[in-house]
Amino acid sequence: MELPADVAALLERLRDGLLARGGLVGIYLYGSLVTGDFSLARSDIDVLVMVEREPDKTTIGELRRLHEALAGSGGVADRLHCLYVPAGSPSHDPDRLHAYWYGTRMTQWRLKVMTQAELASVGVAFHGPWPPPGVTQVPIAEVQAAVYEELRDYWRRAARKRKLWLQDSWVDLGLTVLPRISAVLSSGELITKTEAISQLTDFGVPAWLAGEIRGRRDGEMVRLGAAQQVHRALVVRRVMRRGVRQLGRLSPSAREG
């Protein structure tokens, strides 16, 4: 797989820094970077790092300094999202928190079921053995259950918020989530963001708004005045609330019954 030159250079520096400190098992790529849907203008660089053991406080400090040095190089470095997971366990608990570099800061995050499914189905080893130790194919029923839980527990609340939909990043994320959740719940398919954008009108997204989202993904500068932002937020909130209700009818347990 051929990576964009600046992304490849960033990942090589990350690999070299991790090899120098020891304990590295593998570096694995997933998401748009490996599905052919990567946007130099918008996409995150999704990385899972397998290490020999869970990083302790001292190790996390060392990792933070490594990432801060990488972030100082500019370019795409602020879009690097890097989850550190120990390779010793034969299975990975989706509720367990791990060290996570999120663009510009160190925090904690989970190895979610969807991430494991993406890794197993389309992931790529940048460094280390394949498949990633302990990562196996996830039954589609488990993926659907996890996605439905996120719809119910997270997106239902997020859809009701008002100020959230004034932000471009949330507009793009929220609306493209709807077709992606629909694909998983209805057929078990994992679709890309570009495919999701092409299906936005199915959820009542106006053509002008779908074009705006597509333009940002293509690197275009989309400028809106304050009144336009407020109008857009009202439209997005309405679409999101309706879409979440619609997808709620695709409950895996309801279909099984």
- 119: CB partners within 8 A, 6+ apart: 28, 30, 48, 131, 132, 135
The C-alpha atoms of residue 117 and residue 30 are separated, in whole angstroms, by: 10
Give the pLDDT confidence of 52-63 residue by residue, as tens digits.
999 999 999 999
Provide the pLDDT confidence category of residue 252 given band limits of 50, 70 and 90.
confident
The C-alpha atoms of residue 253 and residue 130 are separated, in whole angstroms, by: 34
Domain ranges of the chain: 5-127, 140-256
Tokens standing for 84? 């550190």
Provide the pLDDT confidence category of residue 126 given band limits of 50, 70 and 90.
very high
The C-alpha atoms of residue 52 and residue 22 are separated, in whole angstroms, by: 9
Average pLDDT over residues 215-241: 96
Give the pLDDT confidence of 8-54 residue by residue, as tens digits.
999 999 999 999 999 999 999 999 999 999 998 899 999 999 999 99
Query: Is 161 a residue whose pLDDT tops 80?
Result: yes
- 194: CB partners within 8 A, 6+ apart: 37, 217
Asked if 44 contacts 31 with a C-beta cutoff of 8 angstroms, the reply is yes
Query: Is 140 a residue whose pLDDT tops 70?
Result: yes
Give the pLDDT confidence of 205-226 residue by residue, as tens digits.
999 999 999 999 999 999 999 9
Query: Is 256 a residue whose pLDDT tops 70?
Result: no
Query: Is 254 a residue whose pLDDT tops 90?
Result: no
Provide the pLDDT confidence category of residue 135 given band limits of 50, 70 and 90.
confident
The C-alpha atoms of residue 119 and residue 47 are separated, in whole angstroms, by: 10
Average pLDDT over residues 89-117: 88
Q: CA 169, 175, 176, 177 torsion: positive or negative?
A: positive
Q: Which residue has the tokens 């936005």?
A: 200
Query: Is 92 a residue whose pLDDT tops 90?
Result: no
What percentage of the chain has pLDDT greater than the value 70? 96
Q: Does domain 5-127 have CATH number 3.30.460?
A: yes
Cβ atoms within 10 A of the Cβ of 69, count? 12
